[in-house]
Chain A
Amino acid sequence: MTSVALDRRRPVAGVPLLLAFFAAAVAVRVAMTGPPGFGASPWPGVLFGVVLAAAAVAVGTSTRVGTRVFVAGALATVAIVLPALMFSSVRASLPVAWFPGWMAATALVAPAEEAFLRGALYDAVARRWNADAAIVVAALAFGFMHVPFYGWHALPLDTAVGVVLGVARLASGTWVAPAIAHTAADAVGWWML
Chain B
Amino acid sequence: MVTIEIDGVYYQVKTETSLLSACLALGLDLPYFCWHPALGSVGACRQCAVIQYHNAEDKQGRLVMACMTPVADGMRVSIDADQAKQFRAENIELLMINHPHDCPVCEEGGECHLQDMTVMTGHTVRRYRGRKRTHKNQYLGPFINHEMNRCIACYRCVRFYNDYAGGSDLQTLGINNNVYFGRFKDGALENEFSGNLVEVCPTGVFTDKTFSDHYARKWDLQTAPSVCVHCSLGCNIAPGERYSELRRVINRYNGEVNGYFLCDRGRFGYGFVNSPERILKPVIKGQTEITTEAADHHFRELLKSDRPVIGIGSPRASLEANFALRTLVGEENFFPGLDPTEHVLLEAINGILRSGGIHSPSLREVEQADAVLILGEDVTNSAPRLALSLRQAVRNAAFELAGTLHIPSWQDAAVRNLGKQLRSPLFIAGVCSTRLDDVAARSYWGSPDDIARLGFAIAYHLDNQAPEPGDLTDADHALAAMIADNLRSAKRPLVVSGTSCASLAVIQAAFNVAKALPSKDRQLTFTVPESNSMGLAIIGGRRLQQAFEWVHEGLSDTVVILENDLYRRAQEQEVDAFLQAAAHVLVIDCLDNKTTQQAELLLPAATFAESEGTLVSNEGRAQRYFPVYPPPENVRGSWQWLSAAAEGSKWRHCDALTSACAETFADLEAITRAAPDANFRINGMKIPRQPHRYSGRTAMLANINVSEPQQPLDPETPFAFSMEGATANVLSALEPVIWAPGWNSNQSINKFQDDIGGHLQGGDYGVRLFEAAGSGDWFNNIPQAFKPDQGIWHLVLLQHIFGSEELSLRSPPLAERALAPCAMLNPEDAGTLAVISGDLVEIKSLNGKTMVSLPVRIEPSLPAGLLGITAGLPETLQVNKLDRVTLKKTGHTTGEQS
Q: Do A and B bind each other?
A: no
Interface of A with B (CB < 8 Å)? none
Interface of B with A (CB < 8 Å)? none
